Structure 1
Amino acid sequence: MLSPPVCPGSHPQRDQRNPVQQYVMRLRRRLGDRDRTMLVTKAPGYRLVFDPERLDAHRFEALHAEGQGLFAAGAHDKAFTVLGGALELWRGPAMEDVPVSPTVRTAAERLEEARLAAAELRIEASHRIGGHLATLAELRALRDSNPLREGLWEKEMTALLESGRRAEALDVYQRARRVFQDELGLEPGTALRDLQQLILTGGSARSGRF
């Protein structure tokens, strides 16, 4: 632990604190740790004791997992609500106010991927309970931010198909095809091509596997 130097014959002030103690005091103030139960003294230094339930990231992951379980069990309406609660915890990019390091970057990327997965699953839950158009604007915004995520194009086409807007669904396929050709030099995957054929032949997403 750091402490200020003391010269021979000098008499340090009684209230003088070393730099580490000063940092600890500031941190306790920031944490609201008046009773000193979060940042506790433990030789040879200090230990941070933090309730995970106070962390938005922990609460998000718990709600995301709960939503996944509800969706898998067929409780799509409940999954939609729980996943919405998970997404409401976000205030911006993951860990945007934390100094960047390889560990922080990896954790932030993992959280952002989980956020996207939760948003996708919530939209899918909405579709399962008949809300194809209710989340269409949200879906399009998500797709615009992630244009190479094929599942988002598929969900948009399905939403339009199930709402009787076949021509628009086919237009979405053509836009997706251009994006994949321009960005990757590839045709859309099997799922999108099969969905296009289903639309062209007058089929329904409910009658297919989508």
Structure 2
Amino acid sequence: MWISVVTSAGIAAVGTRYRAGIDRVDGASARCDSERVGIRVLGPLTVDGSGDLGRRDRVVLASLATNPGHPVSADQLFDALWSELPPASASKIVQGCVVRLRKVLGRGAIQTSPHGYTLRLPTEDVDSLRFEDQVGRVRELLTLGEADRAAYLLTDALALWRGAAFVDLESWEPAVAAGTRLSELRLEAEELRIDALRRAGRYREVLSEAQVLVRAASLREYRWVLLARTGKLIRDRDLLDDDVLALAYVNGDRDLLMGTTLGQTIVVDAETLRPRGEPFDIATHKLVPIGDGSTAMVQEESADVTSLHWRVIDVSTGEVLSEGDLAMRPTASVSSPDGSTVAVAGDTGDLTTIDVSTGDERRSTSLGAKVLWLDYSDDGELLVSGADDGGVSLWDATTLDLLGTVYPPHLGDPVPAAAQFIGDSHDVAIASYDGKVYQWDTDVDRAMDFACQMAGRDLTKKEWDEFLPAQPYRSVCPGG
């Protein structure tokens, strides 16, 4: 079933906390522990010590929190609560909500004026205000050359996010606008953090996290700039004479394998960024670590970018263990957990699995949309793909039979979606590029039950063929 679990795709930034309060940039009363925030709107609404607020109280508080320090009119609150025609008792209902909220927050927390109701709380007591404040202070720290402290502060700020902002008000236009603005600031904060790490010389973190940022939101140009600067970092240290085209951890994350525009592949120590030996004369445009990382598939695209030549190499020696050709333009690749197979997706939406020992291939039917993301389940039984039309598809990893496709809800044109399995389960986390993430319960029986709940009726044969193509058509609603 669909449930909102986390927010926009990106790095879950956690780590050592910076000790606040050292100088004027932090402020005299700055607090660093996110657990002490009073009102949380960067995810499902929560209020410290409030127990369970009623639905209307939650809506009123969330509405006021979309614009703290500024009045929200009664008419706006009516719209947030009822959307269409409010009841005759609307004013009394709102007044009752405010009375109850003042008991929880304090009498001065919500002020009444001829213009409406205003939420007035210290910045540190509302997570959205604190997030914006910390990002602003980070910009000042970077200006002062305090990159390491900026990175710590951004780690703390990003940890405040627990889900989509103002998720309790998904259909109220002012909340949608406020949530969009905060989500954009979150993306900027992720990018600022990588830039701060780079300036602080924390190269190992930069190399891995810059790639994650690009994959999470590949349409954001600045993320590609950060990745390019990562390659420049290596060149500036006189390790390479050319640009880095592909980069991945290998050998149990102890080393980095890199492909360059000189048509060479090189292994460097992940800590010191010093070469492990001489470069291999193997062209690498894309690469996929296999198994424990002692081997990797390196992919060389044709001049017209319509096909590729792949090689499985021993990372330590550069020996080619197997190789072959594939008639597709690769857009995503992933190794199976046991290292026996590599799955490759193309821009036409078809998948191919390659046996790394024999070179044998198996190909799927085409989805008709460019695949941007691939992931194996931990047991290797399933594959999940995310495409640029927002579709997320589940596949039998052995046969490449399509088991089903879902599309996250969205407003306006479809947006791409990233997808990966959750832990060792078959459930899938789906990160839509519009800033929301969902959980897909892939159990067939539960999926059918959810289909009945959503549609309120049995699916048509056409709907069934589109969303559950690998399952025989049948009634999914009780008594249907």
TM-score, normalising length: structure 1: 0.61
Out of 121, 128, 131, the residue aligned to residue 60 of structure 1 is 131
Q: Which has the higher strand share?
A: 2
* Alignment correspondent of 1:94: 165
The CA distance in 1 between the partners of 2:169 and 2:197, in whole Å, is 34
**Amino acid of the structure 1 residue aligned with 2:109:** M
Does the alignment pair 1:133 with 2:204?
Answer: yes
Match of 2:202, SS?
coil
Does the alignment pair 1:47 with 2:117?
Answer: yes
> Percent sequence identity over matched residues?
28
Task: Give deviations 1:115-159, integer Å, cap 9, x for gaps.
Answer: 111111111110111112214443333211211222212322433
Out of 179, 184, 187, the residue aligned to residue 108 of structure 1 is 179
Give, in angstroms, the shift of residue 26 of structure 1.
Answer: 4.2
Match of 2:108, SS?
coil
Seen in structure 2, the aligned counterparts of structure 1 residues 169 and 51 have a Cα distance that, compared at 3 Å, is same
Contact 1:133 1:159 in 2 (8 A): no
* Alignment correspondent of 1:146: 217
Contact 2:170 2:176 in 1 (8 A): no
Contact 2:109 2:119 in 1 (8 A): yes
Contact 1:56 1:89 in 2 (8 A): yes
* Alignment correspondent of 2:422: none
Seen in structure 2, the aligned counterparts of structure 1 residues 99 and 165 have a Cα distance that, compared at 3 Å, is same
Q: Which has the higher helix share?
A: 1
Contact 2:169 2:176 in 1 (8 A): no
Matches within 5 A, 1:163-182: 163=234, 164=239, 169-171=244-246
Gaps (5+ residues) in structure 2?
A: 1-73, 75-88, 248-260, 262-284, 287-304, 306-328, 332-346, 348-480
RMSD: 3.5
The CA distance in 1 between the partners of 2:241 and 2:168, in whole Å, is 44
**Amino acid of the structure 2 residue aligned with 1:78:** R
TM-score, normalising length: structure 2: 0.29
Give, in angstroms, the shift of residue 45 of structure 1.
Answer: 9.8
* Alignment correspondent of 1:5: none
Give, in angstroms, the shift of residue 56 of structure 1.
Answer: 1.3
Aligned residues: 162
Seen in structure 2, the aligned counterparts of structure 1 residues 34 and 143 have a Cα distance that, compared at 3 Å, is closer
Seen in structure 2, the aligned counterparts of structure 1 residues 35 and 90 have a Cα distance that, compared at 3 Å, is closer
Out of 122, 131, 143, the residue aligned to residue 72 of structure 1 is 143
